[in-house]
A = this chain, B = another copy of it.
Amino acid sequence: MTGHKASIPADDTPRRYVPPGSERPRRALDALAVVTCYRRGQEIRSRQGAAGNWYRVVAGVAGRCAVRAGGRRQIVDLLLPGDFFLGGTSPADLHCSVEAVVEGTAVACFPRERVERLAASDPDAAHEIRCMTSAITRRLEEQILILGGATATKKIGCFLLKMAERCSEGETDKNGMVLPMSRYDIADYLALSVETVSRSLTELKQRGAIALVGTRRVRIVDHVALDDEG
């Protein structure tokens, strides 16, 4: 497998982030947000009480990472802008952290107690929290289906479809989407080796299922060929 050691970046402290004007507050929850900006590879963790805080990715990409025995990294959950996640409550014993996958990832933090209090007083907010958790569950289940896939090429295919659908807000796919992560990150996300990721992508390209512009930009040509049976 990869064995891609978690790269420790320059350790300047995360700096407070000024929310851009395009991000308008939408819900009662947003009043609680504290947005912070992280460098690539930097660990995302609030300064106040570690456990149970809610987070939302505002920009960039984050990943919940576990490090296995042997130094292999696994990205358990990949978080794109708009995705919520719960910090601190890691899978049991496994050493698990959340880190920024791309430079300048901005993450909003919602302190646990304040969320709890808001949920207790505001039924709408409570309902929204339940929707957030069900979105998390759906992501994880889809990831399980991808990981259970038979071959590497099918894993990559499903991954690309899922990413296209998750990235599609913003720029519609005239020229395809930009993969927001390196081959190494994809490998750690799909439990493959980097070489296999690269080979599968070139195979899909030669098959005519996708088109690659540079290394990061992907345009999906044949959706059916990427689906579970290709």
Residues of A within 8 A of B (CB): 1, 64, 66, 68-70, 72, 74, 76-77, 86, 89, 91-92, 94, 116, 119-120, 123, 126-127, 129-130, 133-134, 136-138, 140-145, 147-150, 191, 227-229
A103 CA / B91 CA spacing, docked (Å): 30
Q: What is the minimal beta-carbon distance from A148 to any residue of chain B, in angstroms? A: 4
Which residues of B sit under 8 angstroms from A148, Cβ to Cβ? 74, 147, 191
Residue of B nearest to A229 (CB): B69
Residue of B nearest to A192 (CB): B148
A74 CA / B144 CA spacing, docked (Å): 9
A197 CA / B32 CA spacing, docked (Å): 49
Which residues of B sit under 8 angstroms from A126, Cβ to Cβ? 119-120, 126
6 more CB-based (< 8 A) A-B contacts, given A66-B145, A86-B134, A92-B142: A69-B229, A76-B141, A116-B127, A119-B130, A129-B130, A149-B191
Say whether B133 contacts A69, CB under 8 Å: no
Q: List 19 A-B contacts (CB under 8 A).
A: A1-B150, A66-B145, A68-B228, A70-B150, A70-B228, A74-B145, A76-B141, A76-B145, A86-B137, A89-B134, A89-B137, A91-B145, A119-B126, A120-B127, A129-B130, A137-B140, A140-B140, A140-B144, A147-B148
